[in-house]
C-alpha cells in the first residue's frame, strides 16, 4: 500500500490542523490515472487513461475490451503487480495491489 498526501473529492490537498494529511493512497492513485489524459501528469507524460473521453463512445464489446486493456497497461506502468480489471456497461471494477 502506498502512502502519499491525500486529496479531497474535489482534488484539493487535504489539510487537517494546518498540516497536509498523509495516508494510504492506492485508490486515489487509480482515480488519478483514470481521470488524467496523457500529458496531464507532467512527471509521467505517458500516464493517463482519460476515462471521460470513453464516455462519448458507444459502449459495445470492443470498446469495453480496449478500455480494460488500457487500464491494465496504465496500472502496470504505475507499479501495480497483477491488476484485475472488468469493464461492463454500467461499471468498472478494479483490483490494484501496489
Q: Which tens digit of pLDDT belongs to each residue from 40-91?
A: 999 999 999 999 888 766 778 888 899 999 999 999 999 999 999 999 888 8
Which residues, 6+ apart, have CB-to-CB distance to 76 below 8 Å?
83
Domain span at 10: 3-95
DSSP 7: B
- Counting the structural domains of the chain, the total is 1
Question: What is the arithmetic mean of pLDDT over 27-36?
Answer: 93
pTM of the model: 0.81
- Which CATH number goes with the domain that contains 71? 3.10.450.40
Give yes or no for residue 12 having a pLDDT over 70: yes
Give yes or no for residue 32 having a pLDDT over 90: yes
Amino acid at each position: 500500500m502506498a502512502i502519499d498526501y491525500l486529496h479531497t473529492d474535489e482534488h484539493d490537498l487535504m489539510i487537517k490542523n494546518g498540516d497536509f494529511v498523509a495516508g494510504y493512497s492506492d485508490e486515489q492513485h487509480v482515480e488519478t490515472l483514470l481521470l488524467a489524459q496523457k500529458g496531464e501528469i507532467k512527471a509521467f507524460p505517458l500516464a493517463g487513461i482519460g476515462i471521460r473521453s470513453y464516455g462519448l463512445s458507444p459502449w459495445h464489446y470492443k470498446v469495453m475490451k480496449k478500455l480494460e486493456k488500457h487500464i491494465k497497461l496504465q496500472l502496470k506502468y504505475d507499479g501495480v503487480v497483477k491488476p484485475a480489471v472488468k469493464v461492463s456497461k454500467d461499471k468498472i471494477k478494479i483490483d490494484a495491489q501496489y
